[in-house]
Chains A and B, each alone.
Chain A
Amino acid sequence: MTYLIALLPLILVCATAVAVMLGIAWQRHHASTVLTAVVGLNLALLSLVAVHQVAPFETLLVAVDGLAIFGAVLVLVSTLACATLAHAYLEHYRGPREEFYLLLLCAAAGGLVLVSSRHMATLFFGLELLSMPLYGMLAYAFHERRSLEAGIKYLVLSAAATAFLLFGMALAYAQTGRLDLAGLTAGLGEGGGAWGLAGAGLILVGLGFKLSLVPFHLWTPDVYEGGPGPAATFLASASKVAVVIVLLRLVIESPAFAHVGVHQILAVLAFASMLIGNLLALTQANLKRLLGYSSIAHFGYLLVALVVAEGLAVETAAVYLVMYVVTTLGAFGVVTLVSSRDISGDAAALHHYRGLFWRRPYLTAVLTVALLSLAGIPFTAGFIGKFYIVALGVEAGRWWLVGGLIVGSAIGLYYYLRVMVTLYLVEPGMQRHDAPHDWGTRAGGVVVLGLAALVVLLGVYPTPIIEWAAALGVAHG
């Protein structure tokens, strides 16, 4: 019985996916499909309260603990936001619309498995269940070149990364004879050896690809640009959060990992991601590409917590993740809503956004808040996250990384402000108002307005999140 309760969110999400599939088979109806998906996801979110009661629960394959619940909340909230945004986005889409939610639910189930995995089998299973539906979601508008290209690019590169990951697992298994994460890392920490080192490196390559850290980042801008808005939103939020949680488990919960030199490698990756991500974002003329490059930089910042891996590291990573997810959902949500009225492709080129303020003032306000938060301006959520990272880096004496973060933020401020200036430019002969008047009362509008409010609220009053993260830090630090 405890077993069933601990896995209840996963069961509910899977059941919703099957229900949506049968619903499509019975009769296609967009609104009721969305309703089913959203109700199922909300039930899963509610069931986390029950899971919390039985919380530290472990089997051979999964560990349902504080970290897993934290990850599950983030994954489910991002999936909910994506589902509502997809409703607005797909309303004018003329192909089959309902399958998108089926793929979304399957990917969410993969994310739930991934955040609670403590065995290589569940890690691999979760990662694949998360990635496979994403291929379909990215190539969903397959009549458009860009979308199809994004899907195929992600498929090929992700398959290559998976091959690296599997080979790394095989080498690590050959060295240690264990597949559970704790035993595996302990075995690697003892002797390591050439095979163990190669295995750890290859696993890191596989996970680094999913997080788009710098040497493995080339797919990110193209896939973000080409994929439909809701799919890119999911890729940027839920998929990355789940992988970060796994990496957090791997690196922080097993201090033995430090002996293999993983921390040095992570430090180099973090530094490179911060600088290269920000530098490449400088000249982008496409908002989605720009957000893609900025997400590379943000995961560089986040890696600082994994490099330090002691003291407040878990708390820092948790706070930063919450801030990142809320902000990213806001920014991508606005891009999705602006694009949703366009039938031919997403409106992502920066010139689409010129003078957006004069046409859609509230959406522009949301985007401005999200960009300010990404830049880390005080009174927004992003500031709290960045403050934590800097404090952690200074305390651990990682001066190179702190320097990289400061330089990266300075560069970042330039291109975020460039976008903001574009938003408020007055253009001669432009339309004054082209938004439908009731957009704010529709689900997608409510979601982005709520996210913007949350960004500001968490920037002014971050105590609840900090307390939650501190509890995680005590349990896992």
Chain B
Amino acid sequence: MNEETSGLVAQYWAIGFFVFAVLALCTFMIVAASLLGGRSQGRSKTLPYESGILGTGSARQRYSVKFYLVAMLFVIFDIEAVFLFAWAVSLREVGWTGFLGAAVFIFILLAGLVYDTRVGALDWAPKGRTPRP
């Protein structure tokens, strides 16, 4: 083991010890609590605690799938807009070539938007149920 490697080990032993200490502390807390504390049994003891109020309904509500679709489209177009910032900060350097490139980029985005609108991806309310193929 050369000097550099042993230096590296010495430098990072604290991190190793930290990781070990975290794991040991967690294990200790869980094991000690389960050994020392009692566990009471009862009819209502297994219910989830919700500020003393009985929970109603299921936690697994069903959202319309449109919610995810529109959210995803929003994120996608948002990210595409972020790319334009790269053009904005270098506007003078890239000149007309850059303008042309950005125009093509925006045109493709527009085409995507037109496509999304036409296939009904942006309609919030679902249309009448169409028979599944």
A→B interface (CB under 8 Å): 18, 21-22, 24-26, 94-95, 143
Contacts and interface: CB of A to CB of B under 8 A. Distances in A.
A164 to B, nearest CB: 24
A18 B115 CA distance: 10
A24 B119 CA distance: 8
Q: Is the interface of A mostly helix, strand, loop or mixed?
A: helix
B132 interface: yes
Contacts of A143: 132-133
A22 B119 contact: no
Interface in B101-133: 107-108, 111-112, 114-115, 117-119, 132-133
Contacts of B112: 21
Contact of A21 (B111, B117, B133): B111
A353 B108 CA distance: 45
B119 A18 contact: no
A22 B119 CA distance: 11
User: B interface, how many residues as a size bin?
Assistant: 10 to 19
A25 B110 CA distance: 12
Contacts of B107: 18
10 contacts: A18-B108, A18-B111, A21-B115, A22-B111, A22-B115, A24-B115, A24-B118, A24-B119, A25-B111, A25-B117
A22 B115 CA distance: 6
A170 B32 CA distance: 43
Nearest to A343: B133
Given A22-B111, A24-B119, 17 more contacts: A18-B107, A18-B108, A18-B111, A21-B111, A21-B115, A22-B114, A24-B115, A25-B111, A25-B114, A25-B115, A25-B117, A25-B118, A25-B119, A26-B118, A95-B133, A143-B132, A143-B133
Contacts of A94: 133
A100 B133 CA distance: 17
Nearest to B116: A25
A158 B115 CA distance: 28
Nearest to B112: A21
Nearest to A95: B133
Contacts of A25: 111, 114-115, 117-119
Task: Name the residue among B112, B115, B132 with the largest chain A CB count within 10 angstroms.
Answer: B115
A386 B118 CA distance: 51
Nearest to A11: B104
Nearest to A102: B115
